[in-house]
Amino acid sequence: MFNALGYSIDGLVAGWKNEAAFRQVLLLALVGIPIALILPMPMWGHAVLVGSHLGCVIVELLNSAIEAAVDHTSLEKHHLAKRAKDLGSAAQLIGLTNLTIMWALVLLAR
């Protein structure tokens, strides 16, 4: 269990050091989550916004992992490598779109 925690911390540190997109999504969460918790709204609104922010952070970590694995396998251009990277990017686009929609819905519900 302690080894797994160490690997997870290593992953967060690697993401912060090597991935600009991870830093951006994490900073968005570090700003957005406290704002979501401070604003007066029902508990479900807090949960939806915190969960959506954390979901984006998770998707970005997975997207970065896919990109690193594909680049490790080969730097040669290949249609399947492009597909893997594009799918990871599309997942993050959907996550960020979801985050935007959740903010809009929660704020409109207030």
Binding residues for ATP: 7, 19, 67, 76-78, 85-86
Known binding-site positions for substrate: 60, 89
Given the residues 49, 59, 60, 61, the one annotated as active site: 60
Report how far apart, in Å, the C-alpha atoms of 24 and of each of 11, 64, 70, 80, 83 are: 16, 13, 22, 27, 23
In the annotation, is 75 catalytic? no
Closest CA to 60 of 103, 14, 26: 26
How are the residues of the chain apportioned to helix, strand and coil, as percentages rounded to the nearest 5? 90, 0, 10
Known binding-site positions for a divalent metal cation: 19, 67
**CA angle, 67 then 56 then 30, to 5°:** 115
Catalytically active residues are 60
